[in-house]
Amino acid sequence: MPKFQCFRCLHCCFFSSEDECPVVLPREKRRLEELAEAEGVELTFRKVGNEGLYRWVIKGYCPFYDVRSRGCRIYEERPLACRMFPLLLNPKTGEVSVSRACDWVVANFGEIMSGDPKEVFPEELNAALTVFKELRKQ
């Protein structure tokens, strides 16, 4: 059974529509704003319904993504939505799906569908569970 390995393919950090953008918790929004201020970066957030969540609106590449090195400059402090990828959480339904924008997912889709998600995406599922726990607290 394959375990998810990031190919550093650029797709997860590039956003062509607002619907693709990450959803963050209030504490993550505040931390991202602090990090952005330190780097002189402007961020935009929109409230998501009444769930106490925010959509981090990004046009193009994430402002914390370094295209040359294909790496995240805030990797250790990245939000749970980024830690979950290629798993996607629909904040309205609570449904978790797998992104086909991820080259690793496309290359391993058959095995993913027949395997145990806990074995394929252990760290990513842990991040998703953290989101659910945080939402229950609110």
Mind listing the pLDDT tens digit for each residue in 114-130? 888 899 999 999 999 89
**pTM assigned to the model:** 0.89
Answer whether residue 71 is part of any domain.
yes
Domain coverage including residue 96: 11-137
Burial class (CB in 10 A: 0-12, 13-18, 19+), 106: middle
State residue 66 phi and psi, 5-degree precision.
-100, 105
Number of domains in the chain: 1
Alpha carbon distance 7, 10 (integer Å): 9
Q: Is residue 4 part of a domain?
A: no
**What is residue 28's predicted lDDT score, i.e. its pLDDT?**
97
**1 within domain boundaries:** no
The reply to whether 74 falls in a domain is yes
* Residue carrying the six token digits 């805030």: 74
Task: Kindly state the tokens that stand for 64.
Answer: 């914390």
> Domain for residue 3, yes or no?
no
Coil, strand or helix: which one is 61? strand
Band (pLDDT 50/70/90 cuts) for residue 81 is very high
Confidence of residue 19 (pLDDT cuts 50, 70, 90): confident
